[in-house]
Amino acid sequence: MPTINIDGKDFHAETGETILEAARRNGFWIPTLCHHPALSEQASCRLCLVELDRGGWSQMVTSCCYPIRRDIKVRINSEAAVSARRGVMELLLARCPESPELRELARKMNVEGTPYPKVTEAQRNCVLCGLCVRVCAERIGRSAIGFAGRGVNRSVAAPFRMPSKDCIGCGACAAVCPVGTIKLRIHETEIEVSPFKSRMAIRRCSACGAPMSGEPHMKQLEEKTPAAKEYVGLCPDCRRKKSAAAFVPVGSKPVVPR
């Protein structure tokens, strides 16, 4: 089992585990934006940089994807590591000066502002972390959105920036977005995944009528989980009530959801 030395202290690590995992397990905080435990690593936000000691020289590595394969020594809070992360955050703040979520993360890193002007255009504070793209491809299996454009023109979009037929309106992209770029908009009869312009019929809870998700998403759920079919059409509240009703104490009167 390899040992990881973080800021002078030794910890056990699992072979193949990332620096970030080992550090977090041992109570170290490293900021991240493009990392999500359920998704593959992209290492694109560069916020999780730590200094890897190479013996005589050091190198900045992204802790989210650096696998521990032998004994290593890293510095999370060295001057170089802190200033690299600060620099990256300042660049992100210059891109999205209005994002409250990003400013909050910056404050946590003791970064108060940015010395840089805004030179790149971000669609509604998008930091291009790519979590939405990966969740759509890896977890939902739809790949309805992807990266469009190159360099400073990079953005997240559906093909040709048209409403995508592959989008099922599940809202996973909105749920995973760290800066609130992607929003689900509930209209009268439709649900819209903004800013991707895809709209589809909304499914409401069969019991209470509360808006739930896009129709194609609900159909996919029904297909994937045939056993729980009667639950799928219910909103979380009604689902809970239905489950509770099944566990009524012996002798008492069952409560039927309305």
Partner 1 sequence: MIVASSKIASVSDLRTYRERLLKARDPKVRTIRVCIGTGCAAKGSRKILELLKKACEEHGVEVKAEAMCTGCHGFCERGPIVVVSPGEIFYQRVEEGDVADIFRETVMLGRVVERLLYREEADEDGGRGKGKKGGGKGKTDAEAGNGSAAAGEAKKTAAEIPFYATQRRIALAFNGIVDPTSIDSYIAAGGYSALAKVLDGMTPEQVVAEVEKSGLRGRGGGGFPTGRKWRSCREAKGSPKYVIGNGDEGDPGAFMDRSIMEGNPHAVIEGMTICAYAVGSEQGYIYVRNEYPMAVEHLSLAIRQCRELGLLGDDILGTGFKFDIQINRGGGAFVCGESTALMASLEGRAGEPRAKYVHTVEHGLWDKPTNLNNVETYATVPAIINRGADWFASIGTEGSKGTKVFSLVGKVRNTGLVEVPMGMTLRKIVFEIGGGIKGGRAFKAVQTGGPSGGCIPAKYLDTPVDFDELTKLGSMMGSGGMIVMDEDTCMVNVAKYFLNFLRDESCGKCTACREGVAQMVHILERICAGKGEKGDVERLEALCRLIGDASLCGLGKSAPNPVMSTIRYFREEYDAHIVERKCPAKVCKGLFKYAIDPKLCKACGICKKNCPVQCIFGEKKKPHEIDRTKCTLCGTCYDKCPFGAVLKV
**Omega within 30 of 0 (cis) for the link into 226:** no
Residues 6+ apart with CB under 8 A from 250: none
Among 7, 53, 78, 94, the residue binding partner 1 under the rule CB under 8 A is: 94
Stretch that binds partner 1, among 41-49, 190-198, 199-207, 250-258 (CB under 8 A): 41-49
Q: How far is the CB of 43 from partner 1 (least distance, A)?
A: 5
Task: Judge whether 81 and 60 are in contact, CB under 8 Å.
Answer: yes
Structure tokens at 208: 């209470």
Q: Among 27, 55, 151, 251, indicate the residue that binds partner 1 (CB under 8 A).
A: 151
Q: Does 65 bind partner 1 (CB under 8 A)?
A: yes
> Exposure of 141 by Cβ count < 10 A (0-12 exposed, 13-18 middle, 19+ buried)?
exposed
Interface with partner 1 includes 67 (CB under 8 A)? yes
> Which residue, 65 or 208, is less far from partner 1 as judged by CB?
65
What mask, x for binding partner 1 by CB under 8 A, covers residues 95 to 114? x-------------------
Q: Does 29 bind partner 1 (CB under 8 A)?
A: no
- Binding of partner 1 at residue 123 (CB under 8 A)? no
Burial class (CB in 10 A: 0-12, 13-18, 19+), 204: middle
Q: Does 145 bind partner 1 (CB under 8 A)?
A: no
Which one of residues 22, 76, 126, 128 is an interface residue with partner 1 (CB under 8 A)?
A: 128
Parallel, antiparallel or unpaired: strands 49-53 and 58-62: antiparallel
Determine the residue type at 180.
G
In sequence order, the β-bridge partners of residue 50 are: 61
- Tell me the window of 115-123, 156-164, 177-185, 249-257 that interacts with partner 1 (CB under 8 A): 115-123
Binding flag, residue 61, partner 1 (CB under 8 A): yes
H or E stretch at 73? strand 72-75
| Residue 49: half-sphere exposure toward Cβ, Cα within 13 Å | 20
Task: Tell whether residue 44 is a contact of partner 1 (CB under 8 A).
Answer: yes
User: In a 3-state reduction of DSSP, which class is residue 43?
Assistant: coil
| Binding flag, residue 39, partner 1 (CB under 8 A) | no
78 binds partner 1 per the rule CB under 8 A? no
Stretch that binds partner 1, among 65-73, 159-167, 201-209, 224-232 (CB under 8 A): 65-73
Among 206, 202, 231, residue whose Cα is nearest residue 217: 202
Would you say 117 or 251 has its CB closer to partner 1?
A: 117
What DSSP character marks residue 77? S
Q: Binding residues for partner 1, per CB under 8 A?
A: 41-47, 49, 60-62, 65-67, 80, 84, 87-88, 91-92, 94-95, 115-117, 119-120, 127-128, 146-147, 149-154
